[in-house]
Every structure is written in structure tokens, then in C-alpha cells.
Amino acid sequence: MAMHTPTTGTAQDSDTDTDNSGRRLPGQWTRTIGQLTLSYLPDAGVHMIPTRVYPATRDEHWTPHRPHVTDAGHLAMGCGALLVERGGTRLLLDAGHGRISGDDPEHFQHGFDHVQDLPNALASLGVAPAALETVAFTHLHDDHSGWARPDAVDDANSLFPNARWIVGEGELQGLDPAAGPRLAGQSERTTSVADGAEISEGVRAWALPGHTPGHTAWILDTGDGRQIVAFGDAMHSPVQVQHPDWEIVLDHDPAEAERSRRRLVQFLAQEGVFGFGVHFADQQLGTVDDTGRWRPWNDEADAR
């Protein structure tokens, strides 16, 4: 049984589609999949300028992908975290955008739709941040480390004062030391794990470097023969499934990032494998269908 609040589009990209996913930013949702309960905790909605996010593209490249673009020509992207629950254990994947005003967009952002929702989302689920023992990161860019940073709240231990931090091997080494610690208590609380490491029952690391040196996806075993890959910024939009050669403006190593995207798309095309794309507007859960496109999660068919 799957429970959720948003509407998930199912249309494919074409000139005749009316999916309009680019117009919708994701709301909070919860789904039970096998032995897992997954909850998306929204923290910011951002409208992006497509040709700046994907610098190798031009306006005409987006014509076939109109369902993902707003009337104003912007690409909607969600930002938040994924709460993973199995039995009595809880694990948070990424930590949202954190304490931002939304008043100072980057050059590739048109503007923010909402900010600072993650603490309220946790509260609505009855989850106290201090009770979370583990936060695992796909990478440490600001929109993924937000509420774990030293300046996230008045307490220098962050919103999650008792959590240990887990990152992929190489991620800490890729940080600029002059910028100061990215995470609260970074040197004492952070563990770097190798590709394939199991950090909790049914949760293992998959190294997908390129966007950052230690960028890591997290593969979740549902306990019923399926797998869900929380792949962070390996891809930012469903259109990248069809265009893995489209690099993102913030990719640390574009060639390596493309190799990781192609590995990811190939993996998602396997039977019983689904992905969670945190930035995928309202199509966050899905898979790669036999036409090589992103197919959003269908509650009736995929929840079984």
C-alpha cells in the first residue's frame, strides 16, 4: 500500500503531452514500499534557467521537453531530504538547503518558490531531529548539507545534534579547507565509506563520482526483491535520462559525471530497480522504461 499527497505525472515527453511537471514543485509525501517507509521532506523549491543549468544546451533543445518547463521557460526543481524507515530504524539521506532567505539566487536560478520547510516536515511526522542518529549524504553541496551545517540553527551542533555523518570516499578531500567545515563537528562526526559499504540494514553506498569527487548514491533494498536508488545530483531532471551527455554547470569533472550518469541510467533500466531523484520536480520516484525515458512511479502498478 502506498500513501502520498502529491500527484505524480505519468506522461512521456512529446509535443502533445500535457504533463506539466515543470509547473509543480513536490509537496511532502510518504510511501511504504516493501519493508521501507520513505518520506520526502521538502525544503526549497527552485525555478532554474535551463540553458544555464545545462550550459551545453540552447533553447531549441528544450522544445521536445516542454512538459518539464514552465510557461516562463524555467525548469522546476525540488530540494529536500529523504527519510528512510525500516522497522525501528531511521536514516536521513541528505539534509536539505537549510537556513537561506531565497533572496539571492545563483546565476543559473530564476528564483525560489519556498524555503525552510524541512524542520516542519519532520515535525509533521513526529520525528525529533535530535533522535536521528545517522544522516548520509550524496554529496556536500549546500543544497544537500543545509541543516547539518554549523550555522543551520543557533546550536552549533546543527539541527541534528546527535547524528553521525556519512559521506562517500573522497568527498571530504574534495572540499576547500579555506571555506571552513561544511558539516557541524565535521572532523569528529563524519565517517567516509567506500563503494559498496552497507551503512544500515539494506542500505549500501554506490560511488557515482563526477558531480563531486565523492558523490555517492544510496541503494535501498526494499526487502521484496526491489531496489531504490537515491542518486542525488547524478541527474537533476528527467530529461537527463535521454541526454546523459548534458553536463550540469556545477559538475566537478564533466567527463566522469557523464560516465556515472550512463551507469545510473543502465542500472535504472533493470527490472525491479527504481530511482529517487531529489531534484526531479514532482516525478521524484520512477524508473527507466523500455524506450529509454524516465517513467514516473505508478502507485497502483509499482507499489505491488
**Over the stretch 237-265, which tens digit does the pLDDT of each residue have?**
999 999 999 999 999 999 999 999 999 99
What is the Cα–Cα distance from 21 to 19, expressed in whole angstroms? 6
Query: In this structure, what are the phi and psi dihedrals at residue 84, rounded to the nearest 5 degrees?
Result: -110, 120
Instruction: Please give the pLDDT value at position 7.
Output: 32
What is the Cα–Cα distance from 240 to 260, expressed in whole angstroms? 12
Q: Looking at the domain assignment, is residue 24 inside a domain?
A: no
Q: Give residues with Cβ within 8 angstroms of 304, minimum separation 6.
A: none
3-class SS of residue 189? helix
Three cell numbers written together for 239? 530529461
Domain that holds residue 290: 30-302
Q: Looking at the domain assignment, is residue 3 inside a domain?
A: no
Ordered per-residue pLDDT tens for the chain, 304 residues = 233 333 333 333 333 344 455 667 888 999 999 999 999 999 999 999 999 999 999 999 999 988 888 888 899 999 999 999 999 899 999 999 998 878 888 888 888 888 878 999 999 999 999 999 999 999 999 999 999 999 999 999 999 999 999 999 999 998 988 889 999 999 999 999 999 999 999 999 999 999 999 999 999 999 999 999 999 999 999 999 999 999 999 999 999 999 999 999 999 999 999 999 999 998 999 999 999 999 999 877 787 7
In whole angstroms, how far apart are CA 282 and each of 100, 117, 156, 259, 279? 22, 16, 33, 26, 9
Q: Looking at the domain assignment, is residue 106 inside a domain?
A: yes
The angle at the Cα of 253, spanning 251 to 257, to the nearest 5 degrees, equals 70
The DSSP output letter for 259 is: H
Asked if 83 and 160 touch (Cβ cutoff 8 Å), the reply is: no
Three cell numbers written together for 219? 541503494
pLDDT digits (tens, 9 = 90+) for 29-48: 999 999 999 999 999 999 99
β-strands 273-276, 294-296: how paired?
Answer: unpaired
Q: Looking at the domain assignment, is residue 5 inside a domain?
A: no
CATH code: domain of residue 293: 3.60.15.10
Q: Looking at the domain assignment, is residue 170 inside a domain?
A: yes
| Distance separating the N- and C-terminal Cα atoms of the chain | 7
- What is the number of domains present in the chain? 1
What is the Cα–Cα distance from 31 to 45, expressed in whole angstroms? 21
Instruction: Please give the pLDDT value at position 301.
Output: 76
Asked if 213 and 256 touch (Cβ cutoff 8 Å), the reply is: no
Three cell numbers written together for 129? 531531529
What is the Cα–Cα distance from 212 to 174, expressed in whole angstroms? 7
**pTM listed for this prediction:** 0.91
Bridge partners (DSSP) listed for residue 274: 228
Instruction: Please give the pLDDT value at position 20.
Output: 52
Q: Looking at the domain assignment, is residue 232 inside a domain?
A: yes
Asked if 158 and 184 touch (Cβ cutoff 8 Å), the reply is: yes
Count the residues in the chain.
Answer: 304
Three cell numbers written together for 192? 567516509
Count of helices and strands (H, E) across the chain: 7, 15
What is the Cα–Cα distance from 25 to 19, expressed in whole angstroms? 13
